[in-house]
Amino acid sequence: MRKKGIIILVFIIVIFAVIAFFVRDRYIEKVLEKTCQAIAGAKVEIDNFHFSLFKMECSWDRLQVANKNNSWYNVLETGKASLDIEARPLFWKRIIIKEMILENLYSGTRRETDGSLPKKIEPLAEEKPGMVSKATAAIDKQLRELPVFDLSGLSKELKVDSLIDVNNLATVQGYDKLRTLADSSFNYWQTQLKPQDYLTRVQKVEENIKSLNLDKIKDVAALTTALKKLDDIQKEVKSLRKEVEGKYNNLSQTFTDLQTRLEAVQSDLKNDIERAKQLARLKDLDVKDVSLLLFGTPIIKSYEQILGYVELGRKYLPTAKKVVGSKKIQKPPRFKGQNIQFPFHYRYPRFLLRKAKFSAATAAGDTSRAYFVEGNLSGLTNQPVVYGKPMRFNIGLMKVSGNQYEVSGSLDHTTEVAHDSVWVSAKNFAIGEVKLKKSKYFPHAVEAKKGNIVLAGFFIGDGIDLKLNLDVEPVNFLFEQAAGDRISRIVRDVLAGLTQLTLNAQLLGDASDYKLHMNSNVDQVLAKQVKKALQENLQEAQQWVENYVRSEVDKRRKEVEAIIDKNRQKLFTEMDKSKHKVQEKVDELEKCKKEVHERIEKEKNKVKDKAKDTLKDLFKKKVRMK
């Protein structure tokens, strides 16, 4: 060992120590500021940061976190603060803070400089919609699909034809199809009937009969031959009759089928009327719909805020991911290599704040307006699965004038599925004017003095069960326009009589669907009164829709029936004519045959008589000769 070497080493160590002494605090301060800025989205400034390696302690004189929405104000400002860091985890580059006590915490203080960060243009990353965006979209859809509460629409001026497309009605579509079917059937029958053909064939039969010249035939043999020919002609005529009758029956069947179909289409009319009423949104007034219409928008805003905080927690406190083995990186950057992860036996996350206690005040300098905040937090970590315990927090807010708020919750991200819960209680808090959804008959805002609220939310994975109970007194509903009609007056009378508002809301659902359920004391009273008044108008409007649909459907039914009747008359007339002609010939033939039979008999008798006479004469002659 050389002495000179010890001197060089000591010199190097001294140089390093001096540099570290002067630069270390500033370096850590910059790193912390940069990290916090990335989370807060606005400037974070730490004044006089100090890190003591021997005491394992950090401290600062002031910490300011700018409000990203109002960058000239701080969302958080602290006075002097100190925190203890655990030494052992530092070997693994893990920062674990044992306890942090923050006093003189303020919110809403004015900044001396602008706290906004220079805007970076970041490439749009395709993110999967999260729980909040899915829930918000589902509730928005639910609100959009609320029935039209433009109650004037239920009166006589209702323009049904603009709301209902008759061509979409099943009966109208059925009649259109039936008409097409009837047209094609009749075209077919026109080509199949051929009455002229039947007449020609009948004429031919006539000619054949005439060609026999029955009048001129005198002897039995000729008559018998003619009779045989008549039999052949009769067979042909009967076959013709069979053919005509067959076609007649088929035609009758076609008309029967059309008639059956006509009745089947008509049976859809009832459903069509109901559908048309729905299309015209002539739904009965629903109690929960009134609640959603009145208070949906402001409640959703509060819900979105709560859900936003839950999602923020999930973003920065990730849940457990499936352990992936250290797969070889083929080309890591030069001299960087690849770090192989081995099972870690300690519950040391990369960052952990074991316990924090804080006290704060908003609107610094004005105690009458300020909120005094006191709270504690435990287990804040960026690797909950490593720490293995949920993050818990409890915050109490109080105002000199008497308002009291309490917020507590737990974010358990120690497994693959996040289990979060939030509980908020606010007593005697001032509400002021709350804007409501614009509607013709309902108030545009509600003004309330004081209220109590209890909110409990459970979030498991994508599942949400968020309940809110609100109790406000006294309330005053504000209308933009003067009451114009009876309905408006009823609504106003009902709402004027209410001094207290009790509202229960629940957002419930999972990734497949979210639904917002609401009810309030306003709904019951209002719905009952308005419903009563509307009943007549509603029925009238429903009748109007029914009549409209019936008339439109009747129009089309009559058109189809007219086509069928017209063709029935035409086709059956022709068929009857042919049938009649053929039958005539059949009868005529029968008659001819009968005559020929008679004549044959007559001729036979004549021959017989002649033979008898001849024999008699012969016999007489013989007797004379003897």
Partner 1 sequence: MIWLKIISKFIKAFRSGESPGQIAGGFGVGFLIGIMPFWTLQGVILFILLILLNINMAAGTVAILLASLFAYLLDPTFHSLGYFILTGIPFLRGFWETLYNIPVAPLSRFNNTVVMGSFIGGLVLFIPIFFGMKKLVVAYRSGLEERIKKWKIVQVIKGSKIVRLYEKTRDIGSE
d(CA 490, CA 483): 9
137 near partner 1, rule: CB under 8 A? no
Q: Which stretch binds partner 1 (CB under 8 A): 27-35, 78-86, 323-331, 579-587?
A: 323-331
322 near partner 1, rule: CB under 8 A? no
Q: Which stretch binds partner 1 (CB under 8 A): 3-11, 22-30, 106-114, 365-373?
A: 3-11
Q: How far is the CB of 431 from partner 1 (least distance, A)?
A: 55
Task: Give the residue with the Cβ less far from partner 1, 210 or 327.
Answer: 327
323 near partner 1, rule: CB under 8 A? no
Tell me which residue of 274, 35, 281, 25 sits closest to 148, measured CA to CA: 281
Task: Give the residue with the Cβ less far from partner 1, 90 or 478.
Answer: 90
Q: How far is the CB of 86 from partner 1 (least distance, A)?
A: 12
With CB under 8 A as the contact rule, the residue among 332, 365, 402, 474 that binds partner 1 is 332
188 near partner 1, rule: CB under 8 A? no
338 near partner 1, rule: CB under 8 A? yes
124 near partner 1, rule: CB under 8 A? no
337 near partner 1, rule: CB under 8 A? yes
With CB under 8 A as the contact rule, the residue among 22, 188, 316, 344 that binds partner 1 is 344
d(CA 436, CA 295): 6
Q: Cα–Cα distances in Å, from 424 out to 300, 397, 419?
A: 16, 11, 17
With CB under 8 A as the contact rule, the residue among 128, 345, 621, 624 that binds partner 1 is 345
First-last CA distance in the chain? 196
How many residues bind to partner 1 according to rule CB under 8 A? 28
Query: Are the beta carbons of 45 and 32 closer than 8 angstroms?
Result: no
What are the φ and ψ backbone dihedral angles of 346, each rounded to 5 degrees?
-115, 150
328 near partner 1, rule: CB under 8 A? yes
Binding mask 83-122 for partner 1 (x = CB under 8 A): -----x--xxx-----------------------------
Task: Give the residue with the Cβ less far from partner 1, 316 or 344.
Answer: 344
What sections of 484-520 are H helices per DSSP? 486-496
324 near partner 1, rule: CB under 8 A? no
Q: Which stretch binds partner 1 (CB under 8 A): 4-12, 32-40, 110-118, 213-221?
A: 4-12
d(CA 83, CA 331): 41
Task: Give the residue with the Cβ less far from partner 1, 72 or 92.
Answer: 92
Task: Give the residue with the Cβ less far from partner 1, 95 or 117.
Answer: 95
Handedness of CA 136, 139, 145, 150 (dihedral sign): negative
Binding mask 253-292 for partner 1 (x = CB under 8 A): ----------------------------------------
321 near partner 1, rule: CB under 8 A? no
Task: Encode 442-470: b = buried (16+ Cβ within 10 Å), e = exposed.
Answer: bbeebebeebebebebebeebbbebebeb
331 near partner 1, rule: CB under 8 A? yes
- The one-letter amino acid at 116: S
What sections of 41-151 are H helices per DSSP? 131-144
What are the φ and ψ backbone dihedral angles of 399, each rounded to 5 degrees?
-115, 150
Task: Give the residue with the Cβ less far from partner 1, 21 or 342.
Answer: 342
Q: Which stretch binds partner 1 (CB under 8 A): 2-10, 365-373, 376-384, 450-458?
A: 2-10
Tell me which residue of 501, 482, 499, 500 sits closest to 443, measured CA to CA: 482
Query: Are the beta carbons of 157 and 541 closer than 8 angstroms?
Result: no
Q: Which residues pair with 192 in a beta bridge?
A: none
With CB under 8 A as the contact rule, the residue among 17, 346, 474, 555 that binds partner 1 is 346
Binding mask 205-244 for partner 1 (x = CB under 8 A): ----------------------------------------
- The one-letter amino acid at 21: F
Task: Give the number of residues written for the chain.
Answer: 626
326 near partner 1, rule: CB under 8 A? yes
Contacts of 153 (CB under 8 A, 6+ apart): 280, 281, 541
Q: Cα–Cα distances in Å, from 441 out to 158, 281, 482?
A: 17, 17, 10
Tell me which residue of 36, 41, 84 sits closest to 63, measured CA to CA: 36
d(CA 422, CA 407): 7
622 near partner 1, rule: CB under 8 A? no
With CB under 8 A as the contact rule, the residue among 52, 341, 500, 573 that binds partner 1 is 341
Rg (CA), the chain: 50
Give the footprint of partner 1 on this chain (CB under 8 A).
1-2, 5-6, 8-9, 12, 88, 91-93, 326, 328, 331-332, 334-346
